[in-house]
Amino acid sequence: MQIARTLEMLRKRLDDLRAKGETIALVPTMGALHEGHLTLVRRAAAQADHVVVSIFVNPRQFGAGEDLDAYPRQLEQDSRLLEREGVALVWAPSPDVIYPAGYATNISVGGVSEGLCGADRPGHFDGVATIVCKLFNQVMPDMAFFGEKDWQQLAVIRRMARDLDLTRPHVEAIHGVPIVRETDGLAMSSRNAYLSPEQREQAAVLPRAMKAALVEMAGGEAAEPALESLRDKLLASGFDRIDYVDVRDGDSLALLEADNGNARLFAAARIGGTRLIDNMPLS
């Protein structure tokens, strides 16, 4: 496995991989890899000849006061995990390689970027769209894999790829991979590492309470009473703040008052300084 730190190294290695006409899958990450990321890598390896994993903590998707400085950076440990998975190439640029002096371009996706995390984290999805567009242009993979925990992010990336005609030839397929959960149901996230043991126990209430809300909404019941009891349970169990609990259409992300057959429950809530997100289908 090689680790490319410059665009020249990346392009040279990609040319070598492509020389035999073999396919390349990209798994974009910010590192601090866990089983959820490794599941993406395995899905990618099942569908492409070579897997390229990017590791870049993208400053442009962190707002003022967010955890950019604290975000775990552990390239050596991540590389060991990826080597074991048979990854061909790790793309680990530094911020000045991605955003050299004078960098001035921003990609902003309307519609699906608004609401949910877009409302609480202004500019976040511009940062995501910008870096993912750059990664697609740099790697030009045949396919790319993203976790469905960040459902809205996936919707933003798909919209951006369609709107900017990136789906061919750069990325023929953008795949979403279902959420990987801990045994108590908490969605895996690099940010779970910020939780104290007590907060970690409280965090598991999020998926449990969401499942209970799904049961309340089953059969097309109005969403609001179930969302109200979900909010109450989270606040009673130690969450300090709820950013949102919404039912929305899984594709357009438009707000819904009850299941339309394609509805998902979305939640974001904070314990101390840690913001946790999750989403589940209603049916």
Q: Does 36 bind ligand PAF (CB under 6 A)?
A: no
Q: Does 29 bind ligand PAF (CB under 6 A)?
A: yes
Contacts 24+ apart (CB under 8 A), 160-164: 160/107, 160/109, 160/129, 160/132, 160/133, 161/136, 163/109, 164/107, 164/133
Taking the complex as a whole, how short is the minimal distance between the CB of residue 235 and ligand PAF, in angstroms? 27
In contact, 25 and 15? CB cutoff 8 Å: no
Among 131, 203, 223, 247, binds ligand PAF (CB under 6 A): 131
Taking the complex as a whole, how short is the minimal distance between the CB of residue 124 and ligand PAF, in angstroms? 9
Which sign, positive or negative, has the C-alpha torsion 162, 164, 169, 170?
negative
Among 78, 126, 150, 278, binds ligand PAF (CB under 6 A): 150
The residue nearest ligand PAF at its CB is 28
Q: Does 33 bind ligand PAF (CB under 6 A)?
A: no
Write out the two tokens for 147: 């976790």
Q: Does 132 bind ligand PAF (CB under 6 A)?
A: yes
Site for ligand PAF in 51-90 (CB under 6 A): 58, 61
Decide whether 58 or 279 has the Cβ nearer to ligand PAF.
58
CA distance linking residue 209 with residue 278, whole number of Å = 11
CA distance linking residue 29 with residue 73, whole number of Å = 12
Q: Does 139 bind ligand PAF (CB under 6 A)?
A: no
Q: Does 28 bind ligand PAF (CB under 6 A)?
A: yes
Picking from 97, 160, 163, the residue whose alpha carbon sits closest to that of residue 129 is 160
Is 175 among the catalytic positions?
no
In contact, 259 and 217? CB cutoff 8 Å: yes
Catalytic residue, from 34, 37, 50, 175: name it. 37
Write out the two tokens for 44: 């990618």
Catalytic residues, by residue number, are: 37
Residues that bind ligand PAF (CB under 6 A): 28-30, 58, 61, 128, 131-132, 150, 153
